[in-house]
Amino acid sequence: MLRWTITFIIIAIIAAVLGFGGIAGAAAGIAKIVFFIFIVLFVLSLLKGAFK
């Protein structure tokens, strides 16, 4: 999941450098969403491991 976030951030940076504003914004938005999903799943797995 974190690998997808890094991939979309790299796509956003490359698109921003090349001047593709819409694509860069979309890739950055997707990266944010995937990152927050990763954080939620990570916290849930920590809690599950702590209370097991």
Containing domain of residue 39, as a range?
Answer: 2-50
**4: amino acid identity, one letter:** W
| pTM attached to this predicted model | 0.69
Q: What is the pLDDT of residues 9-21, one digit of tens each?
A: 888 888 888 888 7
Instruction: Provide the domain count of the chain.
Output: 1
CA angle 37, 41, 46 (to 5 degrees): 150
24 neighbors 15 (Cβ within 8 angstroms): yes
Non-local CB neighbours of 27 within 8 Å, separated by 6+ positions: 8, 9, 11, 12, 15
Dist. CA 31–CA 23, nearest whole Å = 12
Specify the higher pLDDT residue, 21 or 45: 45
Per-residue pLDDT at 47: 92
Q: What would the mean pLDDT of 19-47 be, rounded to a whole number?
A: 87
- pLDDT tier at 1 (50, 70, 90 boundaries)? low
Structure-token pair, residue 1: 């999941």
